Amino acid sequence: MDSSGETNANIRSMCEDPDFQTDVLNCVTGVCIAQEIQGFTVMGKELCQMPLQDNRQEYRATIIVFATLSFFFFVLRVTSKIVTKNTWGTDDTWAAITFCILIPFTVFTLLAIHHGLGLATPLFTKNDLSQALKEIFILHLLYVCGLAAAKTSILFFYLRVFQDPTFRTLVWITHAFNALSTVIIITLNLTLGRSVTYLLNNSSDDVVGMRKYLNAIKIVLAHCVVNLALDVWMLILPLTQLYNIGLKLNKKISVMAMFGLGLFLTVVSLIRTIYQSRLLTKPEEAQTGQVQVVLWACIETYMGAIVACVPSTRQLVRKMIYKMTTLCSTLVGTFTSSMGLWDRVKEKRKQAKRDTTQDEEIKKLKAQVEQNSRARDEVEASFQRSGALINREFEDGYQRYGQRFAIGDVITENKLQAQVIALQQTVINVLQDAVYNGRQLDRADMARLIAASDAAREGSLGALRQQRERLMDLEEPPLPKALPPPKRASTVIKDDPLYCRYALDLQYIPERPLASTFEPRGDCLCPACDVFLDVEADDAWAIGKTATRVITEKGGYKREIDEELEFHISPRFVIKCHTPEGEFACVLCSRFRDGDVLCPSADTLVNHIGREHTVAEMEREPDFEVRSLDLDKVRPVDMNKRIMPAKSVGSDRRSSSGRSVVSGRSVVDTSRSARAMSVDRRSVDRRSVY
């Protein structure tokens, strides 16, 4: 009994001694064949009562998850190129090459797991061990090529974003180092490492000690060290440019965080380097089930592909974030355009009945009597009321819920799109037919317009209110445990500039052109604040207004005429109104009004200008082109009336409305009354339709 107990105690002490296990394992793997090693390992597991590990399910799940994430981000990158209409660059090509390498990489990884990767050595069959080693060798070659392709894509992205000459030179040097190190590692692995010779001549009866793969392990470790140093260098490169960029602190941190995603790749590379360094002193661990080196190599390859695709997907997110804002702005713009078209029909009918040969006093008296006796126009009132109610409902929701309300959901989006289509079809079929065919509107036409306006208003308001209710249901405010202490009144002084630094440059430097990012198919990112603006250089807006002017003809006879004016708004004006938060602050309000007006989108800004600002104010804007539709030619504009973007005072407003211009025999009074307005967004080479 004593002898048996002493023997069991010795066995337990040997099983618990890691140094003894390592010495025995080194001795066995150096002289035994595969079958002998399997038998010895089984005997040791039985004596020490240690279960044989099988981690293949965990490894398989890990590979599938990371492969799915890589595929998802690559699809997002391609979708971003299609939605934002950006040109396909060299970085996109190398990202596609990386994805093509990941396909066989994933297949060979799953095959290696099927043949025993992650399985304890005694559970290997004779053929599976040799097959798994060959697949791991192919995996290593794909790993080197995949990482090199991912880094090449990231470096080409740096070249596309940053224009500093010194920085670009460093990036090209990094390109050369990445390509050269990849070629050297693959060449050394195929020649000096002799891995191909060992794997092709391997059989189940050969000595399977990993000592003969020592040169190959050293080469792989050298690649890990070089790769880790390159990751750290590529992480530092963009941060040197972003630190000095002219952004607010919160914007700068967010952009740095996007480029700092390479930190995850660096951490994974560091972990793999640590595991690989252990194999240099203990190469026998590779055949005893310690396959973390291969697993972390797979994770590093997938992370490289993900990091290469993340920056491009950011534009897609910014593009889709204000879809609700655009729809509501389109609805309001449709109502506003309908008001302008309706007013043009009325003015043409009124102008046809006007007798210009009558005496001025009789004409004034007739106009006064007609104005006092005229009932409220139901069509115009319906359009005006609908646009105002929808705009107010959206602004209330935006003030309470912010970007969540602006982004919206699929339900609200579909309902608003249906209202836009129905309203635009009715307006086009009724008003434009009346304008271009020269006929007057009958009661049936008016009834159709009022019904369409009311239906679109009620449907849009209902959709926005339902969205507010859904957002309200998501909020569950916690009940306060006690009454909070009374808050002290305070005054908040905001000293941050309203406009972006690039917008201020456009305001104070009239001759400065737009940045190349706003060219057609550009990324539409502000070069200063990096905010996405849905504006391109070939966009344009048109605001139609009906202005009244008094002409003094020969003989002292004065008569009043209506002039149809069209103001062409260039994209430069819209871009110089944007704020660092991606909103638009009206420059005309900053000049002529006491308060600033913020608009969530470019179309909302244009609609605000058409509704709130006078002809005299719009004529003083350098980025507006004034065209007289009656004369079909560009009206000459006195550049002395145009002002720089300094904050206006009351005297500017008064002087702009009291100045007159003498031309030949007539005196043109610039005191105008805008009675009709329409807004249209289109390309600069198309005419608006009224």
Q: What is the reported pLDDT for 307?
A: 80
| pLDDT tens-digit readout, 290-311 | 567 777 788 888 888 888 887 7
Of 58, 49, 196, 29, nearest in space to 121 by CA: 29
Average pLDDT over residues 114-138: 66
Q: Is pLDDT of 281 > 50?
A: yes
Query: In the block, which residue shows the tokens 């859904």?
Result: 470
Going by pLDDT thresholds of 50, 70 and 90, the confidence category of residue 176 is: very high
3-state DSSP of 558-610 = EEEEEEEEEEEECHHHHHCCECCCCCEECHHHHHHCCCCCEECCHHHHHHHHH
Query: In the block, which residue shows the tokens 């003015």?
Result: 347
Express as a percent the part of the chain with pLDDT over 90.
3
Average pLDDT over residues 565-589: 90
Query: In the block, which residue shows the tokens 């595991």?
Result: 275
- Give 459 or 351, the one with higher predicted confidence: 459
Residue partners of 499: CB distance under 8 A and separation at least 6:
507, 576, 577, 578, 579, 585
Of 330, 324, 422, nearest in space to 679 by CA: 330
- Supply φ then ψ for residue 510, to 5 degrees: -60, -30
Which pTM value belongs to this model? 0.46
CATH of domain 56-320: 1.20.1070
Residue 242's alpha-carbon distances to 253, 313, 503, 530, 580, in angstroms, are 9, 19, 20, 11, 16
Of 113, 80, 77, nearest in space to 97 by CA: 77
Going by pLDDT thresholds of 50, 70 and 90, the confidence category of residue 173 is: very high
Question: Per-residue DSSP letters for 419-462?
Answer: HHHHHHHHHIIIIIHHHHHTPPP-HHHHHHHHHHHHHHHHHHHH
Residue partners of 11: CB distance under 8 A and separation at least 6:
47, 48
Q: Is pLDDT of 577 > 90?
A: yes
Residue partners of 585: CB distance under 8 A and separation at least 6:
498, 499, 577, 578, 579, 596, 597, 598, 599
CB 48 within 8 A of CB 280: no
Of 621, 531, 526, 498, nearest in space to 567 by CA: 621
Query: In the block, which residue shows the tokens 């849905």?
Result: 534
The secondary structure of the chain in percent helix, strand, coil, rounded to multiples of 5, reads 65, 10, 25
Tokens of 43: 């005997």
Domain boundaries for CATH 1.20.1070 within the chain? 56-320
- Supply φ then ψ for residue 443, to 5 degrees: -65, -30
| pLDDT tens-digit readout, 492-514 | 444 467 888 888 888 888 888 88
Chain mean pLDDT for the chain: 70
Q: What is the reported pLDDT for 63?
A: 85
Tell me which H or E stretch contains 634.
Answer: strand 633-634
Instruction: Quote the DSSP letter at residue 666.
Output: E
CB 398 within 8 A of CB 600: yes
User: Measured between alpha carbons, how far is 350 from 371 in angstroms, rounded to an integer?
Assistant: 12
Q: Is pLDDT of 535 > 80?
A: yes
